[in-house]
Structure 1
Protein backbone atom coordinates (compact mmCIF):
# COMPACT_ATOMS: atom_id res chain seq x y z
CA UNK A 1 0.00 0.00 0.00
CA UNK A 2 2.92 2.32 0.79
CA UNK A 3 4.31 1.78 -2.74
CA UNK A 4 0.88 2.64 -4.20
CA UNK A 5 0.68 5.92 -2.24
CA UNK A 6 4.24 6.92 -3.16
CA UNK A 7 3.70 5.99 -6.82
CA UNK A 8 0.39 7.86 -6.89
CA UNK A 9 1.98 10.99 -5.42
CA UNK A 10 4.79 10.77 -7.99
CA UNK A 11 2.31 10.41 -10.87
CA UNK A 12 0.27 13.36 -9.58
CA UNK A 13 3.35 15.60 -9.32
CA UNK A 14 4.71 14.49 -12.69
CA UNK A 15 1.29 14.92 -14.27
CA UNK A 16 0.96 18.43 -12.82
CA UNK A 17 4.29 19.43 -14.37
CA UNK A 18 3.53 17.72 -17.69
CA UNK A 19 -0.01 19.13 -17.85
CA UNK A 20 1.48 22.57 -18.47
CA UNK A 21 2.54 21.26 -21.89
CA UNK A 22 -0.44 21.40 -24.30
CA UNK A 23 0.08 17.85 -25.59
CA UNK A 24 -0.16 16.23 -22.14
CA UNK A 25 -3.40 15.65 -20.24
CA UNK A 26 -3.88 13.86 -16.93
CA UNK A 27 -6.89 11.90 -15.77
CA UNK A 28 -8.44 9.35 -13.45
CA UNK A 29 -9.79 5.90 -14.21
CA UNK A 30 -11.47 2.94 -12.57
CA UNK A 31 -13.65 -0.05 -13.23
CA UNK A 32 -14.25 -3.78 -13.11
CA UNK A 33 -11.67 -6.59 -13.36
CA UNK A 34 -12.53 -10.16 -14.34
CA UNK A 35 -9.31 -11.98 -13.53
CA UNK A 36 -8.03 -15.52 -13.56
CA UNK A 37 -4.78 -17.40 -13.08
CA UNK A 38 -3.61 -19.63 -15.92
CA UNK A 39 -1.45 -22.54 -14.83
CA UNK A 40 0.84 -25.13 -16.33
CA UNK A 41 -0.15 -27.84 -15.59
CA UNK A 42 -3.78 -26.71 -15.50
CA UNK A 43 -5.03 -26.27 -11.91
CA UNK A 44 -8.63 -25.50 -12.93
CA UNK A 45 -9.05 -21.99 -11.52
CA UNK A 46 -12.23 -19.98 -12.14
CA UNK A 47 -12.47 -16.23 -12.81
CA UNK A 48 -12.88 -13.76 -9.95
CA UNK A 49 -14.28 -10.22 -10.00
CA UNK A 50 -12.32 -7.27 -8.63
CA UNK A 51 -11.72 -3.61 -9.41
CA UNK A 52 -9.03 -1.22 -10.58
CA UNK A 53 -8.50 2.51 -9.91
CA UNK A 54 -5.75 5.00 -10.59
CA UNK A 55 -4.40 7.82 -12.70
CA UNK A 56 -3.15 8.36 -16.24
CA UNK A 57 -1.17 10.79 -18.36
CA UNK A 58 -2.24 11.03 -22.01
CA UNK A 59 0.69 12.32 -24.12
CA UNK A 60 -0.02 13.24 -27.76
CA UNK A 61 2.88 12.49 -30.07
CA UNK A 62 0.99 13.80 -33.11
CA UNK A 63 -2.62 13.86 -34.34
CA UNK A 64 -2.96 10.06 -34.56
CA UNK A 65 -0.51 8.66 -31.98
CA UNK A 66 -0.22 8.97 -28.21
CA UNK A 67 1.48 7.30 -25.27
CA UNK A 68 -0.55 6.76 -22.12
CA UNK A 69 1.33 5.71 -18.98
CA UNK A 70 -0.89 4.79 -16.04
CA UNK A 71 -0.53 3.78 -12.43
CA UNK A 72 -3.30 1.92 -10.69
CA UNK A 73 -4.34 -0.42 -7.96
CA UNK A 74 -5.69 -3.70 -9.41
CA UNK A 75 -7.49 -6.40 -7.44
CA UNK A 76 -6.81 -9.67 -9.25
CA UNK A 77 -6.71 -13.40 -8.53
CA UNK A 78 -8.87 -16.47 -9.06
CA UNK A 79 -11.11 -18.92 -7.24
CA UNK A 80 -11.60 -22.65 -7.11
CA UNK A 81 -14.55 -24.19 -5.27
CA UNK A 82 -14.65 -22.35 -1.92
CA UNK A 83 -11.03 -21.08 -2.09
CA UNK A 84 -10.40 -17.50 -3.23
CA UNK A 85 -6.93 -16.27 -4.14
CA UNK A 86 -6.69 -12.47 -3.97
CA UNK A 87 -3.70 -10.70 -5.49
CA UNK A 88 -3.37 -6.95 -4.97
CA UNK A 89 -1.12 -5.23 -7.51
CA UNK A 90 0.15 -1.76 -8.29
CA UNK A 91 0.21 -1.93 -12.10
CA UNK A 92 2.04 0.46 -14.42
CA UNK A 93 0.92 -0.07 -18.03
CA UNK A 94 2.38 2.08 -20.81
CA UNK A 95 -0.04 2.11 -23.74
CA UNK A 96 0.80 3.12 -27.30
CA UNK A 97 -2.48 4.43 -28.71
CA UNK A 98 -3.66 4.98 -32.25
CA UNK A 99 -6.41 7.62 -32.20
CA UNK A 100 -9.12 7.55 -34.85
CA UNK A 101 -11.25 10.62 -35.50
CA UNK A 102 -13.89 11.51 -32.93
CA UNK A 103 -12.50 9.78 -29.85
CA UNK A 104 -12.04 6.11 -30.80
CA UNK A 105 -8.68 4.56 -29.88
CA UNK A 106 -6.91 1.22 -30.00
CA UNK A 107 -4.03 0.56 -27.64
CA UNK A 108 -1.32 -1.92 -26.73
CA UNK A 109 1.78 -1.99 -24.59
CA UNK A 110 3.74 -3.51 -21.72
CA UNK A 111 2.64 -3.56 -18.11
CA UNK A 112 4.75 -3.91 -14.97
CA UNK A 113 2.91 -5.21 -11.91
CA UNK A 114 4.24 -4.93 -8.35
CA UNK A 115 2.57 -7.29 -5.86
CA UNK A 116 1.40 -5.33 -2.80
CA UNK A 117 -0.45 -8.14 -0.98
CA UNK A 118 -1.67 -11.69 -1.55
CA UNK A 119 -4.01 -13.86 0.47
CA UNK A 120 -6.02 -17.05 0.20
CA UNK A 121 -9.43 -17.32 1.82
CA UNK A 122 -11.21 -20.59 2.49
CA UNK A 123 -14.47 -20.07 4.32
CA UNK A 124 -13.74 -17.66 7.18
CA UNK A 125 -10.00 -18.43 7.29
CA UNK A 126 -7.76 -15.89 5.54
CA UNK A 127 -4.03 -16.63 5.08
CA UNK A 128 -1.27 -14.28 3.94
CA UNK A 129 0.51 -15.96 0.99
CA UNK A 130 2.51 -13.04 -0.39
CA UNK A 131 5.77 -14.95 0.07
CA UNK A 132 4.46 -17.63 -2.32
CA UNK A 133 4.34 -15.14 -5.22
CA UNK A 134 6.98 -13.14 -7.05
CA UNK A 135 7.02 -9.45 -6.23
CA UNK A 136 7.07 -8.27 -9.86
CA UNK A 137 5.25 -9.38 -12.99
CA UNK A 138 5.55 -8.37 -16.63
CA UNK A 139 2.54 -8.48 -18.92
CA UNK A 140 1.21 -7.19 -22.22
CA UNK A 141 -2.05 -5.33 -22.79
CA UNK A 142 -4.33 -4.82 -25.78
CA UNK A 143 -7.57 -2.88 -25.85
CA UNK A 144 -9.78 -0.10 -27.14
CA UNK A 145 -11.33 3.03 -25.73
CA UNK A 146 -13.61 5.92 -26.58
CA UNK A 147 -13.39 9.42 -25.13
CA UNK A 148 -16.03 12.09 -25.67
CA UNK A 149 -15.50 15.82 -26.06
CA UNK A 150 -16.14 16.29 -22.32
CA UNK A 151 -13.14 14.09 -21.44
CA UNK A 152 -15.32 11.26 -20.09
CA UNK A 153 -14.56 7.91 -21.69
CA UNK A 154 -14.89 4.12 -21.55
CA UNK A 155 -12.06 1.61 -21.79
CA UNK A 156 -11.77 -2.16 -22.28
CA UNK A 157 -8.55 -4.16 -22.34
CA UNK A 158 -7.07 -7.59 -21.88
CA UNK A 159 -3.95 -7.98 -19.71
CA UNK A 160 -1.89 -11.07 -20.52
CA UNK A 161 0.71 -12.02 -17.90
CA UNK A 162 4.01 -13.07 -19.54
CA UNK A 163 6.09 -13.96 -16.48
CA UNK A 164 5.46 -16.75 -13.99
CA UNK A 165 4.09 -15.25 -10.74
CA UNK A 166 4.55 -18.40 -8.62
CA UNK A 167 7.58 -18.32 -6.33
CA UNK A 168 6.73 -21.41 -4.26
CA UNK A 169 6.66 -24.51 -6.48
CA UNK A 170 7.22 -26.00 -9.91
CA UNK A 171 3.73 -25.04 -11.15
CA UNK A 172 3.84 -22.01 -13.45
CA UNK A 173 1.11 -19.40 -12.80
CA UNK A 174 0.24 -16.45 -15.07
CA UNK A 175 -2.16 -13.55 -14.55
CA UNK A 176 -5.01 -13.07 -17.02
CA UNK A 177 -7.27 -10.05 -16.59
CA UNK A 178 -10.08 -8.37 -18.51
CA UNK A 179 -10.69 -4.75 -17.50
CA UNK A 180 -13.72 -2.65 -18.34
CA UNK A 181 -13.97 0.85 -16.92
CA UNK A 182 -14.52 4.55 -17.21
CA UNK A 183 -12.01 7.40 -17.19
CA UNK A 184 -11.94 11.17 -17.18
CA UNK A 185 -9.21 13.23 -18.88
CA UNK A 186 -8.93 16.79 -17.57
CA UNK A 187 -8.88 19.58 -20.18
CA UNK A 188 -9.32 17.00 -22.94
CA UNK A 189 -9.10 18.02 -26.61
CA UNK A 190 -9.50 15.83 -29.69
Structure 2
Protein backbone atom coordinates (compact mmCIF):
# COMPACT_ATOMS: atom_id res chain seq x y z
CA UNK A 1 0.00 0.00 0.00
CA UNK A 2 2.93 2.33 0.74
CA UNK A 3 4.18 1.82 -2.82
CA UNK A 4 0.79 2.80 -4.24
CA UNK A 5 0.57 5.95 -2.15
CA UNK A 6 4.16 6.90 -2.97
CA UNK A 7 3.67 6.27 -6.70
CA UNK A 8 0.44 8.30 -6.73
CA UNK A 9 2.12 11.15 -4.85
CA UNK A 10 5.08 11.18 -7.24
CA UNK A 11 2.83 11.19 -10.32
CA UNK A 12 0.70 14.03 -8.97
CA UNK A 13 3.86 15.96 -8.02
CA UNK A 14 5.22 15.47 -11.53
CA UNK A 15 1.96 16.78 -12.96
CA UNK A 16 2.13 19.82 -10.67
CA UNK A 17 5.73 20.52 -11.73
CA UNK A 18 4.73 20.44 -15.39
CA UNK A 19 2.02 23.00 -14.68
CA UNK A 20 4.43 25.59 -13.28
CA UNK A 21 5.18 28.40 -15.68
CA UNK A 22 1.98 27.96 -17.69
CA UNK A 23 -1.05 30.10 -17.13
CA UNK A 24 -3.86 27.60 -17.25
CA UNK A 25 -4.77 24.95 -14.71
CA UNK A 26 -8.31 23.61 -14.67
CA UNK A 27 -10.07 21.45 -12.09
CA UNK A 28 -13.35 19.62 -12.26
CA UNK A 29 -15.52 16.59 -11.64
CA UNK A 30 -16.92 13.93 -13.93
CA UNK A 31 -19.33 11.01 -13.52
CA UNK A 32 -21.15 8.51 -15.69
CA UNK A 33 -21.75 4.85 -16.52
CA UNK A 34 -19.31 1.98 -17.08
CA UNK A 35 -19.67 -1.04 -19.27
CA UNK A 36 -16.95 -3.51 -18.33
CA UNK A 37 -16.25 -6.90 -19.84
CA UNK A 38 -13.96 -9.63 -18.53
CA UNK A 39 -12.09 -11.79 -21.04
CA UNK A 40 -10.92 -15.10 -19.55
CA UNK A 41 -8.28 -17.53 -20.74
CA UNK A 42 -9.36 -20.33 -20.76
CA UNK A 43 -12.92 -19.08 -21.27
CA UNK A 44 -15.43 -20.01 -18.52
CA UNK A 45 -18.66 -21.69 -19.48
CA UNK A 46 -22.09 -20.00 -19.29
CA UNK A 47 -21.24 -16.91 -17.28
CA UNK A 48 -22.32 -13.33 -17.77
CA UNK A 49 -18.92 -11.66 -17.73
CA UNK A 50 -19.90 -8.02 -18.12
CA UNK A 51 -21.15 -5.46 -15.66
CA UNK A 52 -22.87 -2.14 -16.02
CA UNK A 53 -21.81 0.19 -13.24
CA UNK A 54 -20.98 3.82 -12.60
CA UNK A 55 -17.96 5.98 -11.86
CA UNK A 56 -17.24 9.39 -10.39
CA UNK A 57 -14.11 11.40 -9.73
CA UNK A 58 -12.25 14.66 -9.73
CA UNK A 59 -9.52 15.82 -12.08
CA UNK A 60 -6.88 18.47 -12.68
CA UNK A 61 -5.70 19.55 -16.14
CA UNK A 62 -2.39 21.31 -16.62
CA UNK A 63 -1.58 23.27 -19.76
CA UNK A 64 1.73 22.24 -21.34
CA UNK A 65 1.15 24.41 -24.41
CA UNK A 66 -1.78 26.01 -26.22
CA UNK A 67 -3.07 22.64 -27.47
CA UNK A 68 -1.35 20.09 -25.19
CA UNK A 69 -2.65 19.21 -21.70
CA UNK A 70 -1.72 16.81 -18.91
CA UNK A 71 -4.81 15.37 -17.21
CA UNK A 72 -4.62 13.65 -13.82
CA UNK A 73 -7.65 12.18 -12.13
CA UNK A 74 -8.75 10.26 -9.06
CA UNK A 75 -11.79 8.13 -9.83
CA UNK A 76 -13.93 5.46 -8.14
CA UNK A 77 -15.26 2.91 -10.60
CA UNK A 78 -17.58 -0.14 -10.36
CA UNK A 79 -16.20 -2.80 -12.73
CA UNK A 80 -15.80 -6.55 -13.16
CA UNK A 81 -18.70 -8.87 -13.96
CA UNK A 82 -22.34 -9.07 -12.89
CA UNK A 83 -21.82 -12.13 -10.66
CA UNK A 84 -20.94 -11.04 -7.14
CA UNK A 85 -17.80 -13.22 -7.00
CA UNK A 86 -16.44 -11.44 -10.09
CA UNK A 87 -17.30 -7.84 -9.16
CA UNK A 88 -14.47 -5.43 -8.49
CA UNK A 89 -14.56 -1.78 -7.57
CA UNK A 90 -11.44 0.30 -8.09
CA UNK A 91 -9.90 3.57 -7.07
CA UNK A 92 -8.23 4.56 -10.36
CA UNK A 93 -5.56 7.12 -11.14
CA UNK A 94 -5.56 7.76 -14.92
CA UNK A 95 -2.97 10.13 -16.36
CA UNK A 96 -3.56 11.27 -19.93
CA UNK A 97 -1.67 13.40 -22.38
CA UNK A 98 -4.46 15.26 -24.18
CA UNK A 99 -4.56 17.24 -27.40
CA UNK A 100 -7.08 20.00 -28.00
CA UNK A 101 -8.65 19.90 -31.47
CA UNK A 102 -10.43 23.16 -32.19
CA UNK A 103 -12.43 24.82 -29.45
CA UNK A 104 -14.67 21.93 -28.45
CA UNK A 105 -12.81 18.61 -28.83
CA UNK A 106 -10.00 16.94 -26.90
CA UNK A 107 -8.49 13.50 -27.42
CA UNK A 108 -6.12 11.80 -25.02
CA UNK A 109 -4.40 8.62 -23.95
CA UNK A 110 -2.18 7.37 -21.17
CA UNK A 111 -1.63 4.87 -18.37
CA UNK A 112 -3.88 4.10 -15.44
CA UNK A 113 -3.18 2.42 -12.10
CA UNK A 114 -6.03 1.05 -10.01
CA UNK A 115 -6.38 -0.25 -6.47
CA UNK A 116 -9.15 -2.75 -5.66
CA UNK A 117 -11.60 -1.43 -3.05
CA UNK A 118 -14.15 -4.30 -3.04
CA UNK A 119 -12.96 -6.46 -0.15
CA UNK A 120 -15.00 -9.58 -1.00
CA UNK A 121 -13.60 -9.89 -4.54
CA UNK A 122 -10.79 -12.22 -3.47
CA UNK A 123 -10.21 -13.43 -7.03
CA UNK A 124 -8.72 -10.10 -8.08
CA UNK A 125 -5.19 -8.92 -7.54
CA UNK A 126 -5.00 -5.73 -5.45
CA UNK A 127 -3.36 -3.54 -8.12
CA UNK A 128 -4.10 -3.25 -11.82
CA UNK A 129 -2.35 -1.50 -14.70
CA UNK A 130 -4.20 -0.44 -17.81
CA UNK A 131 -4.19 1.96 -20.70
CA UNK A 132 -6.94 4.51 -21.22
CA UNK A 133 -7.91 6.70 -24.16
CA UNK A 134 -10.85 8.88 -24.98
CA UNK A 135 -12.50 11.86 -26.57
CA UNK A 136 -14.22 14.84 -24.96
CA UNK A 137 -16.73 17.30 -26.43
CA UNK A 138 -17.35 20.64 -24.69
CA UNK A 139 -20.99 21.62 -25.26
CA UNK A 140 -21.19 24.69 -22.99
CA UNK A 141 -18.52 26.97 -21.55
CA UNK A 142 -17.58 24.62 -18.69
CA UNK A 143 -19.62 21.45 -19.36
CA UNK A 144 -18.54 18.43 -21.40
CA UNK A 145 -19.44 14.88 -22.34
CA UNK A 146 -16.78 12.25 -22.84
CA UNK A 147 -16.25 8.65 -23.87
CA UNK A 148 -13.28 6.59 -22.70
CA UNK A 149 -12.04 3.08 -23.22
CA UNK A 150 -9.59 1.22 -20.99
CA UNK A 151 -7.83 -2.10 -21.40
CA UNK A 152 -5.76 -3.96 -18.79
CA UNK A 153 -2.11 -4.68 -19.57
CA UNK A 154 -1.81 -7.72 -17.30
CA UNK A 155 -3.78 -10.52 -15.72
CA UNK A 156 -6.26 -9.15 -13.16
CA UNK A 157 -6.64 -12.35 -11.19
CA UNK A 158 -4.77 -13.44 -8.12
CA UNK A 159 -1.95 -15.94 -8.78
CA UNK A 160 -3.79 -18.60 -6.75
CA UNK A 161 -6.28 -18.98 -9.64
CA UNK A 162 -3.61 -19.95 -12.21
CA UNK A 163 -3.82 -21.06 -14.97
CA UNK A 164 -7.04 -18.97 -15.22
CA UNK A 165 -6.25 -15.43 -16.40
CA UNK A 166 -8.49 -12.44 -17.09
CA UNK A 167 -8.18 -9.02 -18.67
CA UNK A 168 -10.82 -6.34 -18.69
CA UNK A 169 -12.08 -3.91 -21.32
CA UNK A 170 -14.08 -0.96 -19.96
CA UNK A 171 -16.05 1.77 -21.72
CA UNK A 172 -17.06 4.91 -19.80
CA UNK A 173 -19.63 7.45 -20.97
CA UNK A 174 -20.14 10.50 -18.81
CA UNK A 175 -20.54 14.19 -18.22
CA UNK A 176 -18.43 16.68 -16.33
CA UNK A 177 -17.82 20.28 -15.40
CA UNK A 178 -14.58 22.25 -15.37
CA UNK A 179 -14.31 24.75 -12.55
Which TM-score band applies after superposition, normalised by the shorter structure?
A: 0.7 to 0.9
Q: Please say if residues 36 and 45 of structure 1, whose CA atoms lie closer than 8 Å, have aligned partners that are also in contact.
A: no
Aligned twin of 1:35: 36
Query: CA shift at 1:84, angstroms?
Result: 6.1
TM-score, with structure 1 as normaliser: 0.77
Query: CA shift at 1:85, angstroms?
Result: 2.6
Please give the alpha-carbon distance, in whole angstroms, between the structure 2 residues aligned to 1:66 and 1:149.
19
Aligned twin of 1:124: none
- Counterparts in 2 of 1:39-54, with a 5 A limit? 39-43=40-44, 45-54=48-57
Aligned twin of 2:101: 100
Aligned twin of 1:177: 170
Aligned twin of 2:131: 140
Query: CA shift at 1:78, angstroms?
Result: 1.1
- Across the aligned residues of Structure 1 and Structure 2, the Cα RMSD in angstroms comes to 2.5
The match for 1:129 among 99, 103, 121 is: 121
Q: Does 1:152 align with 2:155?
A: no
Q: Please say if residues 37 and 45 of structure 1, whose CA atoms lie closer than 8 Å, have aligned partners that are also in contact.
A: no
TM-score, with structure 2 as normaliser: 0.81
Aligned twin of 1:57: 60
Structure 2's unaligned 5+ residue stretches are none
Q: Does 1:109 align with 2:107?
A: no
Regions of 4+ moved over 6 Å: none
Please give the alpha-carbon distance, in whole angstroms, between the structure 2 residues aligned to 1:138 and 1:97.
19
Deviations 1:30-63 (A, max 9, x none): 0000011111112254321000001000111111
Please give the alpha-carbon distance, in whole angstroms, between the structure 2 residues aligned to 1:96 and 1:148.
21
